[in-house]
A and B are shown apart, each in its own frame.
Chain A
Amino acid sequence: MWQKLYDELQDPNFIIIAVAMDSRADAARPWIEQAAPTYPALIDRDHRVAELYNMVNVPQAVWIDEDGRIVRPAENAGAFEAFRSLDFETMTVPEDKQATAAAAKATYVAAVRDWVLTGSDSVHAFGADQARGHTAAPSAEIAQAHCHFRLGQYLLRQGREGEGVEQLVEASRLHPTSWNIWRQAAEINDMGLAAGPEFWARVNALGDDHYYPPVDMAGMPE
């Protein structure tokens, strides 16, 4: 998704760090090998970045300036939930929803470009107060959930599957709004379950809530 922008900008003072929220490097490997990014593509088997930045889904992104300061905290990286309008009869998404998704992604990419080129002058670069205002603080339950997730992943790597899965289930119970935790746990049970009927049931249970919360960004489609 980001290689085109990275190639276009060719800015020695701009780097993309892609982080795969994948407990198994082999699951991420074919995607990375196909994309062949020239920027670092890292594997986060324990979802440490999600824990540190309080992330709940993919794709999410954080903008960090040259001094290591957060310019835009963790947010939906321009994804639009067009998939929720999937027609199961025809297995297609309506064209207007597809167009909105394309526009949302293009808007986000253009904003990153603008920030890389103009820095803090960019209208998309938050000031400190604005960045703090957009920062979601984790709850005690979320912090506890990440402990269970990390322990669960370790147990799974040790081959202690039953106990490992119990820990992941507890993590998801404590942090039910984390799609990262739920889908990763679903993935290890049964390949494909992360996008199967249980996934759709969870998505439908959102009702008017968002799977990809709208990004607070000028020009972003509703």
Chain B
Amino acid sequence: MTTILSDLGDFSVAAAAAKEGLWLSSAEAAKATGWSLQPEGLCRGNICVPVPSGREADFVADGSVNLAAFWDHLDKPAARSKDGDIWALGEAAADRAESLKSLDAPDFTLPDLDGTNHSLSDYRGSKVLLATWASW
């Protein structure tokens, strides 16, 4: 199994181990990242990114998609373990910046000490002071 760490969470997915890149079925890609393979290209919601022409083999094969190639094509940051069994797939700085400048507070879900998850959006309707600290 391969682990993908994305904005949606941590996911175990079945990836084609023998190939370079990060080859997943469309369903597995959608589970881990929200992006799936469609006739128009790689899509999430209303946004579709066409497969670059002439480079099809690097991006799609037999219904599988190379997420690593797409991530690079979309200028999104990624980091992989040496064995390629763990991938952190981040969002592009420009997208993060646009999100912050929209002033819509990015949602997140984190656990408390008991393991109970809390989301920022649970507190819609209240003013929120989001305050960080650390033990170190």
| Chain A residues packing against B (C-beta within 8 Å) | 1-2, 11-22, 25, 27-29, 31-33, 40-44, 46, 48-55, 58-70, 73, 77, 112, 115-116, 119, 128, 131-132, 135, 137-140, 142-144, 146-148, 150-151, 154-155, 158, 160, 163, 167, 170, 180, 183-184, 186-187, 194-195
Provided the pairs A49-B110, A115-B127, A137-B100 are in contact, do residues A151 and B81 lie with their beta carbons within 8 angstroms? yes
* A61 and B132 form a contact (CB under 8 A): yes
Q: Interface 1/0s, chain B 125-136, versus A by CB < 8 A?
A: 111111111111
Determine if B77 and A147 form an interchain contact, defined as CB atoms under 8 angstroms apart. Answer: yes
A-B contact pairs, 13 of them (CB 8 A): A2-B129, A14-B126, A15-B127, A17-B129, A18-B133, A22-B134, A28-B113, A63-B130, A68-B121, A68-B124, A137-B101, A150-B5, A151-B5
Tell me if A151 and B130 are in contact (CB < 8 A): no
B88 proximity list for chain A (CB < 8 A) = 147-148, 150-151, 154
Chain A CB within 10 A, most for which of B93, B104, B123, B134: B134
Q: State which of A13, A41, A58, A147 has its C-beta within 8 Å of the C-beta of B134.
A: A58
Contact (Cβ within 8 A) B126 A146: no
In the complex, chain B residues 72-124 whose Cβ is within 8 Å of any chain A Cβ: 75-82, 86-93, 96-97, 99-101, 103-106, 108, 110-113, 118, 120-121, 123-124
Chain B positions 18 through 33: 1 when the CB is less than 8 Å from some CB of chain A, otherwise 0: 0000000000000000
- Contact yes or no, A77 B134, CB < 8 A: no
- B79, B100, B112, B131: the one contacting A151 at CB < 8 Å is B79
Contacts of A2 in B (CB 8 A): 129, 131
Q: Does B3 contact A (CB under 8 A)?
A: yes
Least Cβ–Cβ distance between A151 and chain B, in angstroms: 4
CB-based contact B5/A66 at 8 Å? no
